[in-house]
Structure 1
Amino acid sequence: MADWIQSIPEAARAYIEGRRLDEIECIIADIAGVARGKAMPASKFARQQNYFLPNSIFLQTITGEWADNPSGLFTEPDMILRPDYGTTSAAPWTADVTLQVIHDAFDQAGNPIPTAPRNVLRRVIELYKARGWTPIVAPEMEFFLVARNIDPNQPIIPPMGRSGRRAAGKQAYSMSAVDEYGKVIDDIYDFAEAQGFEIDGILQEGGAGQVEINLAHGDPIALADEIFFFKRLIREAALRHDCFATFMAKPIEGEPGSAMHIHHSVVDTETGQNIFSSADGGETEAFFHFIAGMQNHLPAAVALLAPYVNSYRRYVPDFAAPINLEWGRDNRTTGLRVPISGPEARRVENRLAGMDCNPYLGLAASLACGYLGLVEATMPRAECTGDAYMSETDLPYNLGDALDLLDEDKALQEVLRPEFCRVYDSVKRNEYKEFLQVISPWEREHLLLNV
């Protein structure tokens, strides 16, 4: 057995035990969270220490175009990719025996590439650790199962269930609704087990064919890796059963959007105690500072939590998505919710992030806002005890406005790294400009003959 096999997780070793390992996929997340990289025979992987990809992968837009390089150069030097063997995971949907390994990106002098999303998240966590804190997160993933759609001009419709009827909306928490596409869920469970992932629960959400998967709380990088892997395994499970899985924020008109709610807590690294709770179980100043950081800096972070033009279709009242940054205890109308819990599990839930965000960047941006609150020691607005949908919006209305807010928040840029923020801005403004050149059916229907 190759030496590197000894370093991989038990689930990956169990997957290949007694079988011939054929292929290794060397992957890294780009700005969109798309897996980039290369596949190679396992025998070759065992002989190599480093792998190479051009740094231009972080300038590629979701449409495949290339954004302008803010440095002014487009020479595409190679990055050095180093495998993180602890991320090794099965790819159980492939015909041969394949493992996936997430890699970290470095320049040729050995410095972490500041525009690599996994490095952005790692930097934020290091800022916490420098102050003696360890951030803990628990993400929730929402997505839609939809009928196959190969014509972008046609609306998305729900999938056909085992009853022969299309999945219906407004069936939140219905067990029979989940059973309609139970075979997809079964494959999701099987793939997750083969990959060594722990699912905390699966439930039916409010949209037609909309599913939520909850993950257990833990280390932000490990959970971002899992979400990165989960998006792929869920898509593969859906394709086995003649439907698509989509993480698009708002795929179906008239249905709620898909969020990636993020629960946050912070523990004292030395004592392991939750810094949001005092010795007598009460709420600490750090708890309120964290919420204040969210209120003060999340408007600028929305550009990363809602990264596409479609993302802003989620932020409408009465569709189970926030429209502002009010906070409240056990209040799902607020953007910042404090769930019911004991003192040891006291946490803040950020309900703004869409499931279309890059998980590394979504977690990094959300944690960065809380970090700034802890450092700035500011206090939040008064708690919202009513319907937050009745309050004024705090959020940008579109991607262009969100990018402007990110550009103005120098404190947030410093946490995320200015080099990264410049590249992110370039990629997203390119996408936004390209979208503005598309004429929608709404415009043709209502403007063509009426104005």
Structure 2
Amino acid sequence: MTKAPPAWLSQAPEAARSFLEGHRLDEVECIISDLPGIARGKAVPAGKFARQKHFYLPESIFFQTIAGGWGEAAGPSGFTEPDMVLVPDYSTTSAAPWTGDWTLQVIHDAVNAKGAPIPFAPRNVLKRVVQAYRDRGLEPVVAPEMEFYLVARNLDPARAIEPMLGRSGRPAAARQAYSMSAVDEYGPVIDDIYDFAEAQGFEIDGITQEGGAGQVEINLRHGDPVKLADEVFYFKRLIREAALRHDCFATFMAKPIEQEPGSAMHIHHSVLDKATGQNIFSHPDGSETPAFRHFIGGLQAHLPEAVAIFAPYVNSYRRYVRDHAAPINLEWGRDNRTTGIRVPVSDAVSRRVENRLAGMDCNPYLGIAVSLACGLLGLDHEVEPRAMFNGDAYSGEADMPWGLFSALELFADAHGLRDLLGEDFARVYEIVKDTEYNEFLQVISPWEREHLLMNV
């Protein structure tokens, strides 16, 4: 006699239920995104998950750096590591098809003992910004693009990262953007990405070869910002797992290979009027509205303050290279990929604005949150953009911070942005990033050994 599935599964998406069809659920992974976007949490037997309504983790996971250190961000109570309560969001239930047993993942929300959201949990930060739109009668819509590299296994941090070997036995070739033959070179990895995505219920809008050696782009369909951020969070893990099956690595570093383009997470935005469902960027006759201009103006005015979130590591700033497929300024243009803010070709209903600043190394919840926050500040204060840029924007002057330290200085004074994101989040983020930067400064690089050892 087949045992009935646990009652909570009735709240899970159809894809998760289909994945388990004819099988007994073995394990549930209770996960949450930390500041870098790493999945933290615990794996529990399916029976235990069904009996418990929430789980616990120390809130200090949000104070940890990418290198495993700790920022002194606990606040006035000191580093006592109190537990936060993890509450499952059953709508995020998703298969983990790479595991050896029948496992589901569930993203959890973090609250304190009184049920209030933990302010520095990235998913809560994004929910806070989305709610700010809804408080104004608006509904934000986003569509992220994910760029990443498939590279050869690299077990030695001192060794340069190299492209993976394709099925021909040759390294993936660079400068083959949109080449179907280039995608075919690592077709087995792509096939597993498709299979994993289907098992998890994710709809891929398209996969293309980008301009770098072994660089791939995946586009997702537009939708609710929290749902899309959840999908990017899940996708990073499934792509890594698909690559490992084929003896290679997937990396989301902003700039993994010298002389190759960096990897971005371009974010497309539109905003709907909740009452009518209409895109506020377009008049009924199809013409552009003041809100369209003001959203662009908000991005131009506030994106420099947000770069510390879009570009969270020292490596991130290696991506912003003139004439190298990444913006160096905040000009805006129509169908112009040299500008930091692009207006793609579209009809009036789907009129949108693309932010090209964010790197793929940023936390998807935080990257989408801060991008939406910049646009909302433009709407609130009716910020007019500069004149549209015509021509090659790489010929213009740079107007962005060019390192993590200067980006954090701008973020420290971004009062309007910090209010929307939450001051407690901003405080913790600053402290953790300062700690990471200091960790980086303790490492002597190959460049220093090569050029300074015998010459200074």
TM-score (normalizing by structure 1): 0.99
1:115 alignment partner in structure 2: 120
1:160 alignment partner in structure 2: 165
Instruction: Flag structure 2 segments of 5+ consecutive residues without an equivalent.
Output: none
Give per-residue Cα distances to partners, 1:91-124, cap 9 Å, x unaligned. 0000000000000000011100000000000000
2:384 alignment partner in structure 1: 379
> Match for 1:43: what amino acid?
G
SS in 2 for 1:340: coil
CA distance in 2, matches of 1:407, 1:331: 31
2:51 alignment partner in structure 1: 47
1:70 shift after superposition = 5.3
Question: Does structure 2 retain, via aligned residues, the 8 Å contact 1:70–1:426?
Answer: no
2:265 alignment partner in structure 1: 260
CA distance in 2, matches of 1:408, 1:389: 28
CA distance in 1, matches of 2:455, 2:70: 37
1:440 shift after superposition = 1.2
Question: Does structure 2 retain, via aligned residues, the 8 Å contact 1:70–1:422?
Answer: no
CA distance in 2, matches of 1:440, 1:255: 20
Give per-residue Cα distances to partners, 1:177-208, cap 9 Å, x unaligned. 00000000000000000000000000000000
2:101 alignment partner in structure 1: 96
Is 1:271 paired with 2:281? Answer: no
**Which runs of structure 1 show a deviation greater than 4 angstroms over 4 or more consecutive aligned residues?**
none
> Match for 1:217: what amino acid?
H
2:346 alignment partner in structure 1: 341
| 1:172-191 alignment, distance < 5 Å | 172-191=177-196
| 1:246-395 alignment, distance < 5 Å | 246-395=251-400
SS in 2 for 1:345: coil
SS in 1 for 2:71: coil
CA distance in 2, matches of 1:442, 1:60: 28
Is 1:34 paired with 2:38? Answer: yes
1:441 shift after superposition = 1.1
CA distance in 2, matches of 1:211, 1:77: 41
CA distance in 2, matches of 1:395, 1:415: 21
Counterpart pick for 1:218 among 205, 216, 223: 223
Structure 1 window deviating more from structure 2 (61-70 vs 370-379): it is 61-70
SS in 2 for 1:411: helix
Give per-residue Cα distances to partners, 1:252-305, cap 9 Å, x unaligned. 000000000000000101101000001111111000000010011100101101
CA distance in 1, matches of 2:245, 2:139: 40
CA distance in 1, matches of 2:328, 2:74: 32
2:431 alignment partner in structure 1: 426
Give per-residue Cα distances to partners, 1:138-174, cap 9 Å, x unaligned. 0000000000000000000000011110001000000
CA distance in 1, matches of 2:331, 2:357: 11
2:72 alignment partner in structure 1: 68
Counterpart pick for 1:81 among 76, 82, 86: 86
CA distance in 1, matches of 2:116, 2:365: 19
1:194 alignment partner in structure 2: 199
Question: Does structure 1 retain, via aligned residues, the 8 Å contact 2:175–2:213?
Answer: yes
SS in 2 for 1:141: strand
TM-score (normalizing by structure 2): 0.98
> Match for 1:426: what amino acid?
I
2:16 alignment partner in structure 1: 12
CA distance in 1, matches of 2:297, 2:152: 42
CA distance in 2, matches of 1:136, 1:226: 14
Question: Does structure 1 retain, via aligned residues, the 8 Å contact 2:60–2:74?
Answer: no
CA distance in 2, matches of 1:278, 1:70: 48
CA distance in 2, matches of 1:180, 1:35: 30
> Match for 1:68: what amino acid?
E
CA distance in 2, matches of 1:394, 1:356: 21
SS in 1 for 2:306: helix
CA distance in 2, matches of 1:291, 1:141: 22
1:3 shift after superposition = 1.3
> Match for 1:161: what amino acid?
G
Question: Does structure 1 retain, via aligned residues, the 8 Å contact 2:35–2:122?
Answer: yes
2:412 alignment partner in structure 1: 407
Counterpart pick for 1:445 among 432, 438, 450: 450
Give per-residue Cα distances to partners, 1:388-442, cap 9 Å, x unaligned. 1111111111101111100011000000000000000000000001111211111
> Match for 1:246: what amino acid?
T
2:28 alignment partner in structure 1: 24
1:77 shift after superposition = 0.6
| 1:103-142 alignment, distance < 5 Å | 103-142=108-147
CA distance in 2, matches of 1:273, 1:142: 30
Give per-residue Cα distances to partners, 1:201-254, cap 9 Å, x unaligned. 000000000000000000000000000000000000000000000000000000
> Match for 1:183: what amino acid?
P
CA distance in 2, matches of 1:42, 1:448: 57
SS in 1 for 2:307: helix
Counterpart pick for 1:232 among 227, 237, 243: 237
Question: Does structure 2 retain, via aligned residues, the 8 Å contact 1:202–1:211?
Answer: yes
CA distance in 2, matches of 1:94, 1:215: 24
> Match for 1:4: what amino acid?
W
